[in-house]
Chains A and B, each alone.
Chain A
Amino acid sequence: MDLTYSPEEQAFEAEVRAFLNAELPAELAEKVRKRRELTKDDMNRWHAILNAKGWLAGTWPVEAGGTGWSAVQQHIFEEECCRANAPRIVPFGLKMLGPVLLKFGTKAQQEEYLPRILDGRDWWCQGYSEPGAGSDLASLKTRAVRDGDDYIINGQKTWTTLGQHANRIFCLVRTKTDGKPQEGISFVLVDLDTPGIEMRPIRLIEGGYEVNEVFFTDVRVPVSNLVGEENMGWTIAKYLLLHERTNIAGVGFSIEALEQLKSLATQVRRGGKRLIDTPLFAARLAEVEIDLEAMRLTNLRMLADAQKKGAPGPETSMLKIKGTVIRQAINDLARRALGPAAAPFPSEALDGNAALVPEDHAANAASYFNNRKISIYGGSNEIQKNILAKGILG
């Protein structure tokens, strides 16, 4: 048993650290640390910096313009990025569609779309969920009917994250209505400029705008935009979900959030005492640190295992559940640490001498509420438990 990274991995870690030190713009790191909303330009700027280094597509092979990193290297990169408060890589093109095209796309599709993802010409969004099809994704109803060399699409997608920045959407659509629902689904690429598409914003619980509804009325899409074969969309969707779930534990986010929380607890005072010296709060802080340490190792164990076997298995469900619960527990403590001062809207936060909360923490309550989403999306924690239960109980 050896819990340390190999010498090569350690060298890689140092290289990533040095790169982030030199290249991550301070303004971006500050925005991330303060949990301010990033603009489209902010995200594109960070992508461009990574792309220039050749580090943007961590999961793609070198031939496709990716890094060819091992799972452990990807993990190291993610963790270091979180520690440094780098913006999160927007996953839809790079971590979702990219791997799908590499596995199921035609040569022409790969040549057309992959470079555009890397250089930022295309911003993709994910059109899976519908109002009636959330956990039961296979029940989706958005219909694509063949008409000559086109499909005509009618229906509605929802919860489309960052669709407001996107110029393209990859969709699961129904191409066959008889038989098993899973067997009538296809995966198509749609240009959002196509006539008949309307996008409407959805405001989230804490007031932010990051998701949308997308309506399709007689939208014509060339059949050449089909990925894989007609009616094999479900296989693709499942493959993609597996990719979505690597790094799902969000260990890096939790490590960084816990560091921030500890620093906060040394600044906040209750009467004469620092919050970190009050036994009840300190006990909760210690507990969450214990949980996180254990999960960090669980994550590495599963990573090592996946590296050996070549693919992540159902244990990613375990990481998703525990990872989100721990992140939410840290968010909860960060909100509570502020006492009454957590309540003002972050946009109305006072600064300078009038500041109500220590720097960087004005959005703690908003983040807590917003992050309730992480146990709902990407397959809710209940659905993950169903998967695990099926695995052990049949």
Chain B
Amino acid sequence: MDFEVSEDRRMLADSLGRYLSDHYGIEHRNAVAYDAPFHDAQKWRDLAELGVLYALAPEDRGGFGGAGFDVVTVFEQLGRALCPEPVLPQLLATRLLMASGADLEPLLSGATRYAVAIGEIDAPYAVEDITTEATDSGGGWRLTGRKSVVYGAEAADRILIAARHAGGIGLFEIAPGNADITAYGMIDGGGAGEMFLDKSEAVLVAGDAGAMLQDALDWGALALAAEAVGAMDAANAMLIDYLKTRKQFGRPIGGFQALQHRAVDLGIEIEQARSITILAASRMGTQAQSRSVSMAKNLIGRAARLVAEESIQMQGGIAMTWEYPASHYAKRLVMIDHQLGDTEFHLERVMADLRPAR
């Protein structure tokens, strides 16, 4: 048994972590995260140069990573800095393009930014529930329906989109100009958009895409789990620091046992979150991938909300303010549960497969 992180991944984590703390501090982060286009083109190029995107794909597909632990390494750092750049859609697109055999280089180099449109208002998480329709009556594929809360839609050069056709669920590509997109900002930072499709022209990427979509969503959920672990670590460090320095009744508030035990509880839950994320990362590409990812996303949903709520409560009024970074961490931590399956959704997936091991 060996829980040491490999040298390569440690180096990536270090250089990415350093870059983000030097160039993507909370003030810059807030400026980017809460205003269109929710993306900083120069920083994007820098991140790509650091290898953030190459780390998402394996060597035989032009990357230098592609394993669960590579994804965890990248997203943990992004989470620590609350980085709002649309890296997650690139991971989903990488998985989809890998399955369809497309050239990944434009994506991995950072030159071409993808958005991936799967969820819908009534089908926010489950691929099998989507209703956007694809038809081909001779003149090429046309899509009709609405894709909802598509992350990074505004900054995307290319858009992959899932739709139902007579033979099942397919994956299509649609040029951003061919869809009617309304972009907006998110309460936890970053941008997304609604895509309105009315017989919009699209190109078929894969006719039978159910499995590859599920795979992409699994990887996305793993990435969010890692992002949450990074953000929880940072939020917790702020909390501990505050408990040591804030004085009331003539002593640091961290001296009150009512708070001490709860701070310890957070530490325990964060370690649980880290462990389940490591477990899921180790099972990517195995039979147990989907179930392990769901376990991780469920636990993360619970832990992240606890950390968010408790860190606000234990720091008091200051953590209710925009000016204090902890509030932005709290928002992101809570809202991660609204992406790619919430605690209930993933709990149901774990519940669906409760066979005894013996």
Using CB atoms and an 8 Å cutoff, list the residues of chain A in contact with chain B: 129, 132, 134-136, 139, 158-159, 202-207, 269-272, 278, 280-281, 328, 332, 335-336, 338-346, 348, 350, 354, 356, 365-366, 368-369, 372-373, 375-377, 380-382, 385-386
Contact = CB atoms under 8 A, between A and B. Distances in A.
Contact of A376 (B125, B196, B317, B334): B317
A342 B335 CA distance: 8
B124 interface: yes
Interface in B139-154: 148-149
Interface in B247-286: 247-250, 256, 258-259
A206 B187 contact: yes
A328 B309 CA distance: 10
Contacts of B125: 270, 339
B331 A369 contact: yes
Contacts of B258: 382, 385-386
Residue of A136, A338, A339, A376 contacting most chain B CB atoms (<10 Å): A339
B317 A159 contact: yes
Contact of B196 (A272, A348, A354): A354
Interface residues of B, number: 50
Nearest to A353: B196
Interface string B234-257: 000000000000011110000010
B338 A339 contact: yes
Contacts of A206: 187, 331
Contacts of B204: none
Contact of A136 (B122, B182, B248): B248
A343 B320 contact: no
B321 A203 contact: yes
A271 B187 contact: no
17 contacts: A134-B316, A136-B249, A206-B187, A207-B322, A269-B122, A328-B309, A336-B338, A339-B125, A342-B338, A344-B186, A345-B184, A345-B185, A369-B331, A372-B320, A376-B312, A376-B316, A382-B258
Contacts of B339: 340
Contacts of B148: 340-341, 356
A170 B259 CA distance: 32
Contact of B248 (A134, A278, A345): A134
B103 interface: no
A376 B122 contact: no
Interface stretch (B2-10, B65-73, B210-218, B342-350): B342-350
B188 A343 contact: yes
B122 A271 contact: yes
Interface in B314-357: 316-317, 319-323, 327, 330-331, 334-335, 337-339, 342, 344, 347-348
B187 A366 contact: yes
B342 A344 contact: no
Given A205-B327, A365-B187, A336 B149 contact: no
Contacts of A158: 317
B317 A341 contact: no
Given A205-B312, A271-B128, A369-B334, 8 more contacts: A205-B330, A270-B124, A270-B126, A328-B309, A332-B305, A372-B313, A376-B317, A377-B317
Contacts of A348: 184-185
B123 interface: yes
A344 B320 CA distance: 19
B342 A354 contact: no
Contact of A344 (B128, B149, B322): B149
A209 B186 CA distance: 18
B contacts with A: majority SS: mixed
Residue of B148, B320, B327, B342 contacting most chain A CB atoms (<10 Å): B320
A380 B316 contact: yes
A385 B124 CA distance: 40
A343 B192 contact: yes
Contacts of B119: 340
B313 A381 contact: yes
B192 A135 contact: no
A202 B188 CA distance: 19
A356 B320 CA distance: 27
B122 A340 contact: no
Residue of A202, A205, A270 contacting most chain B CB atoms (<10 Å): A205
B208 interface: no
Nearest to B339: A340
Contacts of B344: 278, 280-281, 336
Contact of B316 (A135, A202, A356, A386): A135
Contacts of B347: 280
Contacts of A385: 258
B121 interface: yes
Contact of A203 (B194, B319, B322): B322
B187 A345 contact: yes
Contacts of B126: 270-271
A369 B308 CA distance: 10
Residue of B187, B319, B320, B327 contacting most chain A CB atoms (<10 Å): B187
A108 to B, nearest CB: 35
Contact of B313 (A335, A338, A354, A375): A375
